[in-house]
């Protein structure tokens, strides 16, 4: 591995990889390589400590028991927290939002402490949110609608230190009644969107890559990605 290699942390794919969200790391690697940036994925499992020195991190979705395992591991090995404090970008998907919050409640009503990287809490909704989700981004640097597939039962309430990633156009989103989706706090970007979300939202992928590299990225001309976006946005109408 050279000094200039972009290192992409795939965090706990053995327990936080239920919905194929590991694909987000693949998208980051491929979009970097297409620009001539050497990039590699560093897989961090329950057998590994979490390094704080990687350039960008991704976490995926999981079920209740796997969330508990992930929470315990991240508390025992707080490299992710230190990386975020140092400004390295973190992408957290679905259950990872809840793990990174202050606490979440299981379907049985048990409250489980999170790692408090995000100022939010999550309780169960009455009904599961399943289907296409489209939002209008609410953070600087993103201008195009975000789309993904939501499949969760969480009602996530943001505290004052967190702000929403987007305003819901189609779908449920955070489910707390305010028609917003995801959470952004410091260098952490979180969303309930599967897809993988970065395959469906190249602008978000490049937003994270730019933060990770500190460079202005040249645009990529990928008509097949544009076709995928149009198809998925049309499916949500």
User: HEC profile for 142-194?
Assistant: CCCCEEEEEEEEEEEEECCCCECCEEEEECCCCCCCCCEECEEECCEEEECCE
Q: How far is CA 120 from CA 3, 47, 51, in A?
A: 36, 28, 25
- The whole-number pLDDT of residue 3 equals 56
User: Is 128 annotated as belonging to a binding site?
Assistant: yes
* CA–CA separation, 215 and 198 (whole Å): 19
Nearest-angstrom CA–CA distance, 221 and 113: 44
Single out the catalytic residue among 73, 77, 94, 152.
94
Weakly modelled stretches of the chain, pLDDT under 70? 1-3
Active site residue 194: yes
What pLDDT shows up at residue 107? 80
What is the Cα–Cα distance from 98 to 126, expressed in whole angstroms?
Answer: 17
Q: Does domain 6-235 have CATH number 3.40.50.880?
A: yes
Whole-prediction pTM value? Answer: 0.96
Give pLDDT, residue 106: 85
CA distance 62 to 143: 29
Residue 73 a catalytic site member: no
């Amino acid at each position: 591995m050279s000094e200039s290699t972009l290192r992409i942390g795939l965090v706990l794919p053995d327990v936080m990889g239920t919905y194929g969200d590991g694909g987000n790391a693949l998208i980051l690697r491929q979009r970097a390589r297409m620009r001539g940036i050497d990039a590699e994925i560093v897989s961090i499992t329950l057998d590994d400590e979490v390094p704080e020195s990687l350039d960008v991190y991704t976490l995926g979705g999981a079920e209740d028991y796997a969330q508990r395992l992930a929470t315990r591991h991240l508390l025992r090995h707080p490299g992710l927290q230190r990386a975020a404090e140092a400004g390295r970008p973190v992408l957290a998907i679905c259950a990872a939002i809840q793990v990174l919050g202050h606490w979440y409640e299981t379907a049985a009503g048990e409250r489980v402490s999170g790692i408090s990287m995000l100022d939010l809490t999550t309780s169960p909704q009455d009904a599961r949110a399943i289907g296409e989700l489209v939002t209008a981004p609410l953070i600087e640097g993103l201008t195009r609608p975000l789309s993904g597939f939501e499949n969760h039962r969480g009602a996530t309430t943001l505290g004052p230190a967190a702000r929403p990633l987007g305003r819901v156009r189609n779908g449920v989103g955070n489910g707390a009644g305010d028609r917003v989706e995801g959470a952004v706090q410091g260098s952490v970007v979180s969303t309930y969107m599967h897809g993988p979300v970065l395959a469906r939202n190249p602008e978000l992928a490049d937003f994270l890559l730019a933060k990770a590299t500190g460079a202005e990225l040249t645009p990529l001309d990928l008509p097949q990605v544009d076709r995928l976006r149009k198809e998925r946005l049309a499916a949500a109408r």
